[in-house]
Amino acid sequence: MQAACLPGIAAAALVISLASCAPGEPPAGGMGAQAQVGSNLSAAQKAAIGRKIWQNECGGTVNGLTTWNAGEEFPSMGIGHFIWYPAGFSGRFEESWPQFIAFAKRQGATPPPVASERHSPWKSKAEFTRDFNGPGLTSLRKWLAANVGLQTDFIITRSRAALPKILAAAPASERAKIQANYQKVATTPQGTYALIDYVNFKGEGIQMSERYNGQGWGLMQVLGGMKEVPAGPAAASEFAASAKRVLSRRIANSPPARGEKRWEEGWHNRCSTYGRPL
């Protein structure tokens, strides 16, 4: 689906490309969809989305660009809090920092040398905290603060790749609804922001490792859980409501030891931004 631009500017034609789910299988839902979400955003809208994601993940602060959250086993980097696993740790969440660095290099960027290490050089929160003002983390924050647009482009690119993967992974009976809801949400700038941010926030929802009691919390589950609404602002608002329901279900299903209830208010506040104009 193609995201609409500002009111008064005609949306570009819907971009459709056939892509098979797997060798020898028909495309998902009878057709594959390469959604160029964000391709019609103006430079100002893209900058606004980057600022919103930075605020969502880091409170808009430079220090927040390198973070090790309490209760987690890994640091999170950049405006999108891209996960970077220490050596020997295998988590349930998709590791996105190495993907971002590879993307940045393809765009001609030159990250600090520490950014290219395959595994996080910091193996514990205590070690990370001790080195917070050291040369490695300081250089990372300086570079990340100067390259917010690059990080925004990476997040948008990741979002563009989400829908075909979701359609391939979704039950056949759900594919038409998921695709239709995606298209409805993507018809406004705030809906485009919602799709871009949520994939970065909680993923596509296709990883079996990202489940509690067999129920996921990614974009697939949010789109599949939306109530019937028309395209446009109403769809963005319903996407926000569905995201809150999905995340509350995740918290209810989560292991008590993780203490995820403490995140519910912040997660819901973030989802509330999806129904508001940029």
Find residue 66's DSSP bridge partners. Answer: 77
What's the pLDDT score for residue 193?
92
What's the pLDDT score for residue 70?
87
Residue 149's contacts (CB-CB under 8 Å, 6 or more residues apart) are 46, 47, 50
Find residue 112's DSSP bridge partners. Answer: none
What's the pLDDT score for residue 161?
87
What's the pLDDT score for residue 159?
84
| Residue numbers of the chain with a pLDDT score lower than 50 | 1-35
Find residue 86's DSSP bridge partners. Answer: 120
What's the pLDDT score for residue 53?
94
Give me the residue spans of the domains in the chain: 1-34+161-278, 61-160
What's the pLDDT score for residue 34?
42
**Amino acid residing at 41:** L
Helices (H), 86-214: 97-106, 125-130, 135-146, 148-160, 162-169, 172-185, 189-202
The residue behind tokens 């292991």 is 255
Whole-model pTM: value is 0.76
